Amino acid sequence: MARAFAKVILFGEHAVVHGRHAIAAALDRGATAEARVVEGVSRLAMQPWGRVTLADEDDDVARAFSSVLEAVGGAAPVDVAVDVVVPGGAGLGCSAAIAVAIARAVADARGISLTDDGAAACANAWERVFHGNPSGVDVAVAAHGGVIKFQRGGEARPVVPGGVMELAVVYTGEPSSTKTMVESVARQLARRPQVVERTFDGIDTLALKGARAIEAGRWYEVGQLMDLNHALLSSLLVSTEKLEEVCRLAREAGAMGAKLTGGGGGGCAIALAPGKTEAVLAAWRAAGYEGFAAHIGSPIR
C-alpha cells in the first residue's frame, strides 16, 4: 500500500507561487492507494466519494489520472483504489496526497522505482489539471513528510523542529479553490505590482524567520510570526469572515498564534497552542466548528 501525507502550510502561502519560501509540515494523515495491473483501460476508484473514473473519460479527474500514469511511465493498465482521510478543498493538500499516493502505487504495480522527488514530480502532473499554476509545495511535503522549507524550482529542504509543535487544525466548512485564489492574487499583482511584491517579500521574511524559530523551539516567536503572516494574507483578500473568527477564537483560548493555511477563501486554519490545544478545540466546537490536534515534529512514518 502506498501512502502520502496531507499537510499544513505554516508560512508562505501565495508568496511561494511567486518564487518566495514556504514552510510546510506533514500531518499524520492523508491518502493511501493500492494498484494492480489489469487488462483494458486504467481505472481509478476514489473510495471516500464512491467515484470510479476511467482514464479515457473526458473530465478533469480522468485527465489528471492519465497525466500521472504517463508521468510514472510504463504502459500496463492499472486498477487503482484510493482512500483519503482529510477533507478535499480545505487547504490541507488532499489533492496532492491523492496524487502522490497514486504515483507511488502505480509505480509499484508496474515495477518502477520512484524516489520521493520522482513521486512529487509525477504528482505535479495531476496538480496542474486542478490548480493551474501550483507552486509544488503540496506535493513536496506529501512525498517527503516531516517539515520542509520549499522554494519553487528548488529542492525541498528539511526543517528539524526543536521539539514537538502542538497545533490545532480547524475546518471552516467553506470549500476553497486554490486555483481561484491563486488567480485572484495574480490579478492583484498585475494591478498593483509594487504593493503585492512587497507583501510577498514580507511573507518571505516571515517564512525564513519562522523556520529558524521552529528549529530553535521558540514557540512564542513562531506564534507571533504566524499572526503576522495571517495579516499579510488578509491584505491579499484571501481570508474570510469564518477564517478570521476561528483565528480570533483560537487566540482567545490561549493559542500563541493562528492563521489560515492553504489557499484561503475558506478551508482551514491552524493555531499553535502548546498545552492549550484542547482548549482551542473546545472553543471551536462551542462555535460550531470541528477540528483536530496535530503534533508536528513527532514521528509520522
Give the C-alpha separation, 144 to 120, whole Å: 8
Burial 251-274 (b: 16+ CB within 10 A, else e): bebebbbbbbbbbbbbbbbbbbbb
DSSP string, 67-114: HHHHHH-----EEEEEEE-S-TTSSS-HHHHHHHHHHHHHHHHHT---
Radius of gyration of the chain (CA): 19
Query: Which position among 60, 138, 201, 227 bears the catalytic label?
Result: 138
56 in active site:
no
Q: Are strands 43-46 and 78-84 parallel, antiparallel or unpaired?
A: parallel
What nine digits make up the cell of 20?
518566495
Residue 279, helix vs strand vs coil = helix
Helix (H) or strand (E) holding 251: helix 241-252
User: How many CA atoms lie less than 13 Å away from 116 in the CB half-sphere?
Assistant: 14
Query: Residue type for 73, please?
Result: G
Catalytic (active-site) positions: 138
